[in-house]
Amino acid sequence: MKKLRTYYMHLRHPPNMERRWIFPLAIGSMVSLFLLFLSMVASPGGTPLFPFYKSVAVSSSFFVESKLHPVPISSLPPPPRFAYLISGSVGEGNMLKRTLEALYHPINRYVLHLDLESPPAERLDLQKYVQNHPIFKKFGNVKVITKANLVTYRGPTMVANTLHAAAILLREGGDWDWFINLSASDYPLVTQDDLLHTFSYLPRDLNFIDHTSNIGWKESQRAKPVIIDPGLYMSKKADVFWITQRRSVPTAFKLFTGSAWMALSRPFIDYCIWGWENLPRIVLMYYANFISSPEGYFHTVVCNAQQFQNTTVNSDLHFISWDNPPKQHPHHLNVNDMQRMVDSNAPFARKFVGEDPVLDEIDKQLLHKRPNMVVAGGWCIGSHENGTDPCSIAGSTNVLKPGPGAKRLETLINSLLSEEKFRPRQCK
């Protein structure tokens, strides 16, 4: 404070300044102070009396920053990522391609498998198709299993193939949230933007798996017989066969059964692959001699593992038209089933045969898919003119444009997670 006072006195009385300049300087200072005072005085309406000095007053419109409005933070949750296994057998290579195009999105990951029964030329054609496709090449998220497995649906080889694909998806990049297994005879009823948008609001630990412990007739016809799957040790496909001795129902774990098609969470897939507890391995060895093991293995593991049994949603997310009874062979879907598929609100349907015209109707009415092109989503910013592919030019892959399919799917999910369906039907 003393230094500031000394400095102020030095300015008022500089040692070498002549006194004749002091009086004019004082008069000028007083006039300046008087004008500054008047500039601060306002009229009764609040307007300064001297507009000239208005420009030096701090105004909210003076600075450029005041014209900038903060961008609101999006309240939308980040989209999840799906990891798909799409499998097929002999003669299903083209169907597998079409299913992949209908399911494609850059943020997902895909593993394709044509089993060993398919001729080498068909498997090579699928591999070249993926390698040469400009969109798949750009994002690098589609992989073909070149060392094909022999798969028998009624035996454990299908479970082994599913676990193999899941392990590949973990190795290739485990930045996904749900694993979904489909076949070449499955087809989506909603776009990936619809599916990603709806699932972005769900807990990432949910497992969509149709299951029940009421195995009924399956106890005597599936649990007690012991079967051998030749696909485990032979290079050509053959049907499973039974041995004469039967076994008792296990007591170390409870058997569950259900649909072979499911959407499993990343934590549960980790558990099945890594098996830090012995349960996944014990159950796998038991189901190695179980008829139709794809309809029981994952169901039994998830419902006997304490950390996962309360994460199940009792649905396979499919529309399937079963024979009745005994619901063992689904009908082949056609255009007469179109409205029932839509009304089911399911994201997937099966079983389709070859190039049935119903697929063209699904492409036209539900997916807006063009022949030999992937389904356009919010990430596609190219032109539709002259038949060009809008997805040939990609924008942000996190931009979603959900359509009517998202509304239908939301209705289904709300029903599945309702109080009367969700908790009461978990691992019962």
How many domains are there within the chain? 1
pLDDT by residue (tens digit) across 309-359?
999 999 999 999 987 766 677 899 999 999 999 999 999 999 999 889 999
Q: Residue 22: pLDDT above 80?
A: no
User: Is 15 inside any structural domain?
Assistant: no
Structural domain that includes position 88: 82-425
Residue 69 lies in a domain: no
pTM: 0.81
Kindly state whether residue 1 falls inside one of the protein's structural domains.
no
Q: What is the pLDDT of residues 208-248, one digit of tens each?
A: 999 999 988 888 888 898 988 888 888 777 888 888 889 99
Distance CA 161, CA 143 (A): 15
CA atoms of 216 and 326, how far apart (whole Å): 12
β-bridge mates for residue 146, sequence order: none
Q: Are 319 and 189 in contact (CB under 8 A)?
A: yes
Across the range 370-375, mean pLDDT stands at 96
Asked whether residue 101 is assigned to any structural domain, the reply reads yes
The answer to whether 409 touches 190, Cβ cutoff 8 Å, is yes
Is 212 a domain residue? yes
Mean pLDDT for all residues in the chain: 84
SS3 assignment for the chain: CHHHHHHHHHHHCCCCCCHHHHHHHHHHHHHHHHHHHHHHCECCCCCECCHHHHHHCCCCCCCHHHHCCCCCCCCCCCCCCEEEEEEECCCCHHHHHHHHHHHCCCCCEEEEEECCCCCHHHHHHHHHHHHHCHHHHHHCCEEECCCCCCCCCCCCHHHHHHHHHHHHHHHHHCCCCEEEEEECCCEECCCHHHHHHHHCCCCCCCEECCEECCCCCHHHHHHCCCEECHHHCCCCCCCCEECCCCCCCCCCCCCCEECCCCEEEHHHHHHHHHCCCCHHHHHHHHHCCCCCHHHCHHHHHHHHCCCCCCCEECCCCEECCECCCCCCCECCCCHHHHHHHHHHCCCEECCCCCCCHHHHHHHHHHHCCCCCCCCCCCCECCCCHHHCCHHHCECCCCCCCCCHHHHHHHHHHHHHCCCCCCHHHCCC
Using the predicted structure, report yes or no on whether residue 251 has a pLDDT greater than 60. yes
If one compares 405 and 231, the residue with the highest pLDDT of the two is 405
Is residue 12 scored above 60 in pLDDT? no
Amino acid letter, 27: I
With respect to residue 75, please indicate whether it lies within any of the assigned structural domains: no
CATH of the domain at 193: 3.90.550
Query: CA angle, corner 235, sides to 230 and 239, nearest 5?
Result: 35
Pick the more confident residue, 48 or 124: 124
Which CA distances in Å does 221 have to 184, 287, 290?
A: 28, 14, 10
Terminal Cα distance for the chain, rounded: 83
In a domain, 307, yes or no: yes
pLDDT at residue 28, rounded to an integer: 56
Residue 248: Cβ within 10 Å count? 7
7 within a domain of the structure (yes/no): no
Find the angle CA(416)-CA(419)-CA(422) to the nearest 5 degrees: 45
